[in-house]
Amino acid sequence: MSEIEVPRSTQLLRKAVKTFLDQEQWTEQHLVKWLQGYRLPPVGHSEQPFALILRGLPEGKATGAAQNFARRVAVLLGHLSEIQRLDDRPEECLYNLFMLCAGLQQPEQLAQPLLDILAKKALKGHALGIDLRSALESALIMNQQDDTLRNVWETMAEGNPHEFLPGDEFDALEGARFMPASKDTPGESSLDLIGKALKGVSKRLEQSSDRRRHFRYLVNRLIDTYPRRPTWSMDCLQQAGRHQWAGWAVECLPSLYIPIEVYADGGEQAVLWHYIAACIPTIYKHEVLSPELGNGHVVQVSLSKDAAEFIRRVAPIFEERRITNIYPSDRASVGTTTTAMVELEDEAQQKGNENEANTFAEVRRQLLTGIWTKDIADLPAITRSLRLMAAERATETDGQTPFLYYVKATEKLYGENLRQKIIVSIPDEPWVKAVLSPQH
């Protein structure tokens, strides 16, 4: 962005920050006044002082402005007691100081001064309704040089309170996300701690109706933090097994079909969601190498050429259903899986592939018999569930086809009279009757 395109307020802030950094004989009082909200350029009052200062830093690491500014902030951190004795807004000054540290993300300059403050355990007070210890925690998270704080994040990940910092499992995940495995590996994350933190977060989300969407967001944000790491899918599965994640959490991972090795004859070794692996017809040669990945929800298999071609064809259908499932219950997962099976069974029948069609039908029957009949006691309960689905799907342009798949999957267990029961129970959705007509 050229200087002309930069907003006037940002230009004023950058000029002020540059002038400050150009002063070799700078004073701590100057920076304190800024953090209190005084002497900054007149750009309005909609942002906190720390945000205005960060906006005033030139873009790009090449300028060295952030590092130079962090060195001056580190000096101020060493004189924290003097800020606490200020007559005017000391708590707001401290809050902005810690949030400025978090925004600067300069662990080489800021890590040790922040750790010294934590070690004293003397910080107290609130600013803008926020505990100053929480602001300090944010600064610590974003300025980690090594694994010094591992015990802090592990304590929070296990759901236990830290002796001083007020964080929970979500804070533990943030701490783990930005904690290097060691000082010598600043770009590498600590996988075991991340796995433990994700387990803690999943336990906190267990009763949330939005748990799948929330957990996916957290996992994807973690992966985006280290985009150059190509092994995240396997890393997460290994951590899920090591720390015994719940099944729904494993199902939120970005990929449960991970090719590992391609054989010369066209076959492959891969990791598969157990539902996908169960659908491989026996005529396609394959061997389960490890049934215990991802806490038992994923298997490692060796596939012949025919089996590999089958998996490459059907896995994307299962994966799309799994990834787009937002409903929290295990029954919802079964429903989305059986939907994929019905769709693939219909496709196999149309192509005259009876082996594949029969395998999908049998796996679906076993799945529905084992899960649905246990958790849903009677047909009225099933129709009530489908009624809710109809209300949700009716707003989608392609909602009728998924709804029909659900009905087909269920009626193969309970008989075709289920359709009439559904039509009677959902009189206010005319499209339902049309979709369930005999020709479908």
Q: Which ranges constitute the DSSP H helices of 158-291?
A: 169-178, 191-204, 211-225, 232-242, 247-250, 274-278
| Lowest pLDDT segment from 9-13, 73-77, 280-284, 376-380 | 376-380
- Of residues 52 and 418, more confidence is placed in 52
Query: Which residue has 């076959």 as its token pair?
Result: 267
Q: Does residue 394 register a pLDDT over 70? A: no
Average pLDDT estimate for 360-368:
85
Give 192's contacts (C-beta < 8 A, 6+ positions apart): 239, 242
3-class secondary-structure state, position 188: strand
Average pLDDT estimate for 172-180:
96
Average pLDDT estimate for 395-418:
58
Give 411's contacts (C-beta < 8 A, 6+ positions apart): 418, 419
Q: What is the pLDDT of residues 241-261, one digit of tens each?
A: 999 999 999 999 999 999 999
Residue 141 has which token pair?
């998270």
| Lowest pLDDT segment from 108-122, 177-191, 318-332 | 177-191
What pLDDT was estimated at residue 83?
85
C-beta separation of 252 from 233 below 8 A: no
Within 285-359, strands assigned E span: 286-293, 298-303
Q: What is the pLDDT of residues 28-64, one digit of tens each?
A: 999 999 999 899 998 888 899 999 999 999 876 556 8
Average pLDDT estimate for 306-326:
95
What pLDDT was estimated at residue 59?
76
SS (H, E, C) 249-276: HHCCCCCCEEEEEECCCCCEEEEEEHHH
- Of residues 235 and 430, more confidence is placed in 235
Question: How far are the Cα atoms of 19, 29, 249, 277, 369 from residue 334, in angstroms, in the given order?
Answer: 62, 63, 14, 15, 11
| Lowest pLDDT segment from 239-243, 320-324, 367-371 | 367-371
- Of residues 9 and 425, more confidence is placed in 9
φ, ψ dihedrals at 271, nearest 5°: -105, 130
Going from N- to C-terminal start, the domains of the chain cover 1-143, 148-160+168-248
Q: What is the pLDDT of residues 322-360, one digit of tens each?
A: 999 999 988 888 888 999 999 999 999 999 999 999 999
What pLDDT was estimated at residue 354?
93
| CA nearest to 56, candidates 9, 110, 101 | 9
With bands split at pLDDT 50, 70 and 90, how would you rate the model's confidence at 376? very low
Distance between CA atoms of residues 212 and 327, nearest Å: 7
φ, ψ dihedrals at 127, nearest 5°: -140, 130
C-beta separation of 144 from 180 below 8 A: yes
